[in-house]
């Protein structure tokens, strides 16, 4: 790991040494990835629970940067049941998006690598471990079985192609036996489905001719085109104004029920989570600090960080001079301490907090928290 000199800057020599070591590490991963004709048996796996669409277990995703290794996701485990919505909350840079990009295998390689862990994807008759799935197979899953809605609708569509061509592309790619005419018809249907008025006209338009909300609808149409089993929505409403937000969320929920898929909703907006999610995962600095059903998290938040998040949410009708904010900053991702990452900002520290990272403690069958304050209360409180 990076040793810094007195000024806090890396010397050129240090930096060179780090990038050399990084290259050594990433080359091993890249070689593994680049193999051709990987036998299916290598990435076939068994789901722990057949009612889950995806199970993430002990996922470690690191970025090997020139200033050191950033452990963006450091031992994350959660699962998404079929037909349910799971909300992932946390502040910027806590690894929400990286988790979702890991599931899609869309990390910025070669710097970003899944170092260890499993992501089991339920495909009905069989299950794949996405971490080991080679790229050619992954291309059939992406857009087809798992699809993603990105946070920036303004830039998520290619500016030089017509809307129709971009929606057609997904359909034609994953349904090679569909005729051109059918593809077109289905695209128009999809545009209609996501609530675009006059879909025939929009089909022929370019992205810049549409508003942000309309573009996000198009992105959703593309994501839903092949009836995916899992939709990852990475802050789908962040860039939109509030009225459009509500419409988009409503749309997502309706469509999810229609094709019975699951949604992994990534956001830092607790209101959105409360509205949409069945289960909630709270992330902090690349780790899950608390997870449980939406009721448990909202009615009975256990981790000090979750409590802080709840407290910093503005409440309608209550007058305050300034909104609550959690003191301090997120620790530097390059040199993570070995104690609880939240310790330096925590107002509820206990003696044990100086020790190693707290274990996961089950408060109920579904509610877990990683905090020393609950070590003795295991199973006592019920959310």
**Smallest gap from residue 157 Cβ to another protein (A):** 6
Work out how close the CB of 87 gets to another protein at its nearest, in angstroms, rounded to a whole number.
Answer: 20
- The beta strands (E) that lie in the chain are given as 44-45, 52-65, 68-81, 85-89, 112-122, 127-129, 146-149, 230-234, 262-267, 279-284, 287-293, 361-362, 368-369
CB nearer another protein, residue 38 or residue 156? 156
CA 278 – CA 263 distance, rounded (Å)? 10
Of the pair 169, 295, the CB lying nearest another protein is at 169
Question: In angstroms, what is the minimal distance from the CB of 152 to another protein?
Answer: 5
Binding site for another protein (CB under 8 A): 104, 106, 135, 138-144, 147-148, 150, 152, 155-161, 169-170, 173-174, 206, 208, 219, 222
Q: Minimum CB separation from another protein for residue 329, in Å?
A: 27
- Shortest separation between residue 201's beta carbon and another protein, angstroms: 15
For the chain, the C-alpha Rg in angstroms (whole number) is 22
CA 193 to chain centre: 25
Cβ 170 to another protein, closest distance in Å?
5
- Which CB sits closer to another protein, 116 or 135? 135
Peptide bond into 110 cis (omega under 30): yes
Cβ proximity to another protein: between 58 and 66 the closer is 66
With beta carbons less than 8 A apart as the criterion, state whether 363 and 289 touch: no
Nearer to another protein among residue 161 and residue 324 (C-beta): 161
Cβ nearer to another protein, comparing 208 with 254: 208
By DSSP bridging, strand 52-65 and strand 112-122 are: antiparallel
As measured in angstroms, the least distance from the Cβ of 346 to another protein is: 35
Under 8 Å between Cβ of 80 and 230: yes
Q: What is the DSSP secondary-structure string of 66-100?
A: TTEEEEEEEEEEEEEETT-EEEEE--TTSSHHHHH
Region of 286 on the Ramachandran plot (φ > 0 left; ψ -120 to 50 alpha; else beta): left
Minimum CB distance to another protein smaller for 160 or for 197: 160
């Amino acid at each position: 790991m990076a040793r810094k000199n007195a000024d806090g800057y890396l010397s050129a020599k240090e930096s060179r040494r780090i990038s050399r070591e990084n290259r050594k590490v990433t080359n091993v991963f890249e070689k593994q990835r680049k193999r051709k004709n990987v036998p299916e048996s290598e990435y076939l796996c068994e789901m722990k629970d057949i009612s889950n669409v995806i199970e993430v277990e002990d996922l470690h995703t690191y970025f090997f940067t020139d200033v050191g290794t950033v452990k963006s996701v450091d031992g994350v485990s959660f699962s998404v049941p079929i037909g349910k919505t799971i909300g992932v909350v946390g502040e910027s840079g806590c690894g929400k998006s990286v988790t979702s990009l890991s599931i899609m295998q869309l990390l910025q390689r070669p710097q970003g690598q899944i170092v260890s862990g499993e992501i089991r994807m339920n495909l009905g008759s069989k299950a794949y471990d996405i971490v080991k799935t080679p790229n050619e197979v992954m291309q059939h899953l992406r857009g087809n079985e798992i699809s993603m809605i990105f946070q920036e609708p303004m830039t998520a569509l290619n500016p030089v192609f017509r809307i129709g061509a971009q929606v057609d592309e997904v359909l034609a790619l994953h349904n090679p036996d569909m005729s051109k005419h059918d593809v077109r018809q289905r695209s128009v249907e999809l545009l209609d489905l996501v609530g675009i008025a006059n879909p025939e006209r929009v089909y022929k338009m370019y992205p810049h001719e549409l508003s942000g909300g309309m573009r996000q609808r198009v992105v959703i149409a593309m994501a839903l085109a092949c009836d995916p089993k899992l939709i990852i929505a990475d802050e789908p409403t962040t860039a939109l104004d509030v009225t459009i937000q509500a419409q988009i969320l409503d749309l997502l929920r309706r469509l999810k029920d229609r094709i019975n898929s699951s949604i992994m909703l990534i956001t830092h907006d607790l209101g959105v989570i409360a509205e949409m999610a069945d289960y909630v995962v709270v992330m902090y600095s690349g780790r899950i600090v608390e997870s449980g059903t939406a009721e448990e998290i909202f009615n009975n938040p256990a981790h000090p960080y979750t409590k802080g998040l709840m407290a910093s949410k503005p409440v309608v009708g209550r007058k305050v001079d300034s909104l609550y904010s959690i003191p301090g900053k997120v620790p530097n991702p390059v040199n993570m301490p070995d104690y609880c990452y939240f310790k330096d900002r925590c107002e509820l520290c206990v003696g044990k907090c100086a020790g190693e990272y707290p274990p996961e403690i089950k408060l109920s069958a579904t509610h877990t928290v990683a905090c020393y304050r609950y070590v003795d209360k295991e199973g006592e409180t019920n959310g």
